[in-house]
Amino acid sequence: MKKRLSSPPPSDARWFPFGLPDKAAGLPVFCFHHAGGNAASWREWRELAKPSGLQLCPVELPGRASRFTESPRTDLPALIDELEAVLAPYCQRPFALLGHSLGCLLAFELAQRLPAGNLRGIFVSGRRPPDKPTPEPLRHLLSDDQLAEELQGLEGTPDDILQHTELVSLFLPALRADFSLTERYQWDRVPRDLRLPLHAFCGDDDAEVSVEAMKEWLNWGDGRGQLHVYPGGHFYLQRHREAILRTLVAGVNL
């Protein structure tokens, strides 16, 4: 009997707007953006990382930037399935995962799916641990007007968007979908302690997640990781790129 061929993999290029992972370019670190964000939030990190031997590979989710015409995802398990199918071929050698806020959750879930023997580090930032539910009110349930008002108090949204009602209305579907992904998440599996090669980062004045809550992430690690706290709020990491990259280098080489 002729062997049945597997289905072709999905188009990878749309997930990697800055180019596909290159085997000759250093250890790939797959980067996942915050709710309402896009892969460009990691753009400036790429050049900074090259001298250290890290290849930062920002991942673009559907519904924004170059993928604006696609529907943003609201089903987390289905999105993780998609991401696993795209990333797995590039994870047959050492790799790492880095995620902030919503991206933190995506990195955590993928760490349980991708080849564990090649995972050199999972770096989580700016989100409560998986077993801590999102406190109400839930933003994905707000009306468009309420969600637009909520944007005014959040960091990370460019001023040129906030100043134009039309741009805000275009921005809201992806933002609402992203909030739905992270706010409806429930950890209901065992074991709770996965012993991941995990390292945690946060800002000391983050209104979204406290330093104490981020420290609890270490309970999911293998004992080698640490909590790294930097001055700043929820988007502290954009002011501390070099220091965070040094920690990434140290983490993947432990």
| Cα distance between residue 66 and residue 212, in whole Å | 37
Tell me which amino acid residue 237 is. Answer: L
User: Rounded to whole angstroms, how far apart are CA atoms 105 and 234?
Assistant: 15
Q: Verify whether residue 101 is a known catalytic residue.
A: yes
Distance CA 122, CA 192 (A): 16
Q: Given the residues 101, 143, 169, 210, select the one marked as catalytic.
A: 101
Residue/partner pairs of 144-153 with CB below 8 Å, 24 or more apart: 144/169, 144/172, 147/172, 147/175, 147/176, 148/172, 151/36, 151/175
What are the E-state strand segments in 60-165?
Answer: 95-100, 119-125
Separation between Cα atoms, residue 188 and residue 198, nearest integer Å: 20
As annotated, the active-site residues are 101
